């Protein structure tokens, strides 16, 4: 990462039940925990914006509009998630097929046994 990261500093306390998973994910990603959390928050930015807008709507008395806004965003997120899931399944299937073909190539060929003739 080149240059200084722009943003605002704030101190947070990570809940005990979340900390081990957070550290493990950061290690798997090759990033320090604080950087990993920063990137997660950055990725969560659009959801924060939707929540903020719809909470404002609700406080202004537009409860139906807020509910519709949240529902619409939820459905859009589910649609995107299903698309990613389908893509992951396709990729996994391709990998499995490739591995299966590689195993079949490396498997030693054995001669088929001839059936014995009965007397």
pLDDT at 2: 46
Higher pLDDT, 34 or 114: 34
Buried (b) or exposed (e) across 73-83, using 16+ Cβ within 10 A? beeeeeeeeee
Structure tokens at 8: 């605002």
Least confident span in 4-18, 20-34, 38-52, 100-114: 100-114
Distance CA 54, CA 72 (A): 11
pLDDT for 82 equals: 78
What 3-state class would DSSP assign to 9?
Answer: coil
pLDDT digit string, tens, across residues 28-53: 989 999 998 888 888 888 888 989 99
Tell me how far apart the alpha carbons of residues 56 and 50 are, in angstroms, rounded to a whole number: 10
Q: Tens digit of pLDDT for each residue in 90-99?
A: 777 778 778 7
pLDDT of 72 strictly over 50? yes
Average pLDDT for residues 48-68, to the nearest whole number?
90
């Amino acid at each position: 990462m080149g240059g200084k990261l722009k943003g605002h500093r704030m101190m947070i306390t990570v809940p005990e039940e979340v900390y081990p998973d957070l550290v493990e994910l950061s290690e798997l990603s090759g990033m320090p925990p604080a950087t990993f959390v920063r990137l997660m928050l950055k990725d969560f930015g659009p959801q924060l914006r939707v929540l903020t807008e719809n909470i404002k709507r609700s406080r202004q008395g537009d409860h139906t509009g807020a509910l519709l806004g949240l529902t619409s965003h939820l459905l859009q997120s589910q649609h995107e998630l299903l698309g990613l899931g389908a893509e992951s399944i396709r990729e996994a299937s391709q990998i499995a097929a490739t591995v299966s073909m590689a195993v079949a190539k490396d498997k030693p060929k054995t001669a088929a046994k001839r059936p014995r003739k009965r007397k």
